[in-house]
Amino acid sequence: MQEALTFDDILLTPRYSNILPSDVNTESKFTRNISIKIPIISSPMDTVTEHQMAIAMALEGGIGIIHRNLPIERQAEEVRLVKRFENGFIKNPVTVSPDDVVDTVHRIAEENGYKKVPVIDKKGILLGIVTELYYIWPEDKSKKVRSIMKPVKNLVLAREPINLSKANKIIKNEKLSVLCVTDRSGKLRSIVTRKDLEKNQDYPLATKDKDKRLRVGVALGTGNDLLDRARAVAGKGADVLVIDTAHGHSKNVIEAIKILKKDNLTKQIDVVAGNVATKEAVRDLIKAGADAVKIGIGPGSICTTRIVTGVGAPQITAIMEAVKGRGKNTQVPLIADGGIKYSGDIVKALAMKANAVMLGGLLAGTEESPGETLLAGGKMYKAYRGMGSLGAMEKGSKDRYGQAGIKDSGKFVPEGIEGRTLYRGPVCKTLYQLVGGLKSGMGYLGVKTIKQLQQKACPVKITSSGKVENHPHDVTITKEAPNYQNN
């Protein structure tokens, strides 16, 4: 019987190096035609990637894939929000109506931290703004917003189209804390805040298309709505279509690739197909036209596929098999999806010749993932669940697990669990640590590029005592490190 290995079973042997982590270039390929400056992709899960995550991932040099537990129009809207994002402009600000009471504004400030709230009517026409200057007294709480707002006639406004440097100038010259941008009819289109300008950074690594818009991917199923969904998101500018199934080596997935590659509205967009774990599967998906293949059957932190079905493949072996299946088609990237617990696992996945990694659990606890933060036992958490969990399948992902025909949720056979993960703050902090670990790993191996990492890394299999030695041992950790937790 063949032996199969995963991340914890191997280590990379150090090599002579004159390379510092700061010399390293982490650029890699996501698909045949799309490069990314950091080889990290956020997973299409309903507790991981909607537009906020996709925007943050693309700004930092990776890319996010919008999940598919959304009606077609909502998923297309998520794509639109990413493609229309311009650093500094807040495109869908929280607003209130003139008939709301000041207490509502208070709550917005408390829950979201937004202290300046535009007031709009039912048609979206800007009527005024309330800021903290107008509502500090307790007796104000029941007053109508209409009675205290600064009316639009007294506001300095900007009209679309406007670019960020012009908006900056207005804010500076007029000494504003917030600038509202409207269209010709007076509808509120976006706001720009002084605070954002102050912390405004450049994003030199951002993943952008030829029109300088951020790139975004979209998950699709193989069901009847495949083409409608693909056309709707293509219409909003989606850069990548990801056929997202639990068993990618299947007739449905092969046919879905062919359908997308034939249709006039989608054929110019790169298609990623998965998930698979064997050489035959990779070969067949590439033959069908896939522009990248996603590897991973059951490694994910929330997955129970291997336990429920007895089927799967430990991830390092799955990547090695996939490399064999890809053969000479090296222009088709392999994405290692699931099971990444630490930055060192990213180095191992790439060293085994994956081109990028897809993360769920490591990103689910960040500010930009969908959902509220939860407080339990004095710690902050965010919900994280498998797309094959009961809750996610009820919301639509049942066809990912071949259970589209089941109407009664009591009959689902789940392949994932629902849980929570520690809140980790903005995703840029997590990415900083992950990319930092990757760069340090490349420094130890004396390699400057991902390609050299793939050519020169020398993996060794370790024993269970080696694994114990890998982690801190024989001490009690007294202070949390930003890049290490041992659950």
Of these, 39, 296, 396, 441, which contacts ligand XMP (CB under 6 A)?
296
Q: Distance between terminal CA atoms of the chain?
A: 31
Which range in 188-196, 300-308, 343-351, 441-449 contacts ligand XMP by CB under 6 A? 300-308
Compute the least distance from the CB of residue 358 to ligand XMP, in Å. Answer: 5
CB 184 within 8 A of CB 135: no
Residue 34 tokens, joined: 């799309």
Rounded distance, CA 224 to CA 98, Å? 44
CB atoms within 10 A of CB 199: 7
Query: Among 207, 301, 403, 454, which residue sits at the site for ligand XMP (rule: CB under 6 A)?
Result: 301
Q: How far is the CB of 75 from ligand XMP (least distance, A)?
A: 17
Among 118, 237, 391, 416, binds ligand XMP (CB under 6 A): 416
Q: Check binding of 358 to ligand XMP (CB under 6 A).
A: yes
Cα 440 to Cα 14, 22, 447, 448, 469, distances in angstroms: 11, 9, 10, 11, 20
Q: Give the nearer residue to ligand XMP in terms of CB position, either 158 or 349.
A: 349
* φ, ψ dihedrals at 473, nearest 5°: -145, 155
Compose the 305-324 pattern: x for residues touching ligand XMP by CB under 6 A, - for all others: x-------------------
Tokens of 414: 């789940």
**DSSP state at residue 345:** H
Nearer to ligand XMP, 319 or 358 (CB): 358
Does 360 help bind ligand XMP (rule: CB under 6 A)?
yes
- Among positions 93, 248, 361, 391, the unique one binding ligand XMP when judged by CB under 6 A: 361
Find the binder of ligand XMP among 339, 370, 441, 443 (CB under 6 A): 339
Q: How far apart are CA 298 and CA 303, in angstroms?
A: 6
Q: Which of 32, 33, 52 is nearest to 42 (CA)?
A: 52
Binding of ligand XMP by 415 (CB under 6 A) = yes
Q: Judged by CB, which is closer to ligand XMP: 437, or 443?
A: 437
Asked if 337 interacts with ligand XMP (CB under 6 A), we say yes
Residue 369 DSSP class: S
- Count of residues near ligand XMP by CB under 6 A: 25
Nearer to ligand XMP, 254 or 303 (CB): 303
- The strand pair at 63-66 and 40-42 is best described as parallel
Q: Are 60 and 372 in contact (CB under 8 A)?
A: no
Q: Of 180, 303, 326, 424, which residue is the catalytic one?
A: 303
Told to check if 53 binds ligand XMP by CB under 6 A, we report: no
Give the pairing of strands 34-36 and 28-31: antiparallel
The catalytically annotated residue of 229, 400, 420, 424 is 400
Q: Distance (Å, rounded) from C-alpha 356 to C-alpha 36?
A: 9
CA quadruple 326, 5, 42, 283: dihedral, nearest 10: 20
Q: What is the rounded radius of gyration, in angstroms, for the C-alpha atoms of the chain?
A: 24
Choice between 44 and 237, CB closer to ligand XMP: 44
Partners of residue 387 on adjacent β-strands: none
SS3 content of the chain, % helix, strand, coil (to 5): 35, 20, 40
Q: Pick from 242, 286, 359, 383: which binds ligand XMP (CB under 6 A)?
A: 359
Question: Could you confirm whether 400 is annotated as catalytic?
Answer: yes
Length of the chain: 487
Q: d(Cα 57, Cα 369) in Å, to the nearest integer?
A: 11
β pairing state of 373-376 and 356-359: unpaired
Pick the closer one to ligand XMP by CB: 339 or 443: 339
- Closest approach, Cβ 183 to ligand XMP, in A, equals 39
Q: CB of residue 316 vs ligand XMP: minimum separation in angstroms?
A: 14
Stretch that binds ligand XMP, among 7-15, 100-108, 163-171, 331-339 (CB under 6 A): 331-339
Check residue 245 for interaction with ligand XMP (CB under 6 A).
no
Q: Which of residues 380-399 bind ligand XMP (CB under 6 A)?
A: 386-389
Candidates 28, 31, 43, 403; binder of ligand XMP (CB under 6 A) is 43
Among 5, 45, 282, 447, binds ligand XMP (CB under 6 A): 45
Rounded CA-CA distance 427/107 in Å is 25
3-state secondary structure (DSSP) of residue 303: strand
What is the rounded distance in angstroms from the CA atom of residue 403 to the CA atom of residue 411? 9
Taking CB atoms, the residue at the shortest distance from ligand XMP is 416
Per CB under 6 A, the list member of 11, 120, 179, 303 interacting with ligand XMP is 303
Residue 286 or 303: the one with the smaller Cβ distance to ligand XMP is 303
Question: Could you tell me where the beta strands, DSSP code E, fall in 423-466?
Answer: 459-461
Q: Based on CB atoms, which residue is closest to ligand XMP, 75 or 182?
A: 75
Contact between 344 and ligand XMP by CB under 6 A: the answer reads no
- The site for ligand XMP (CB under 6 A) is made up of 43, 45, 246, 275, 296, 298, 300-303, 305, 337-340, 358-361, 386-389, 415-416
List residues with catalytic annotation.
303, 400
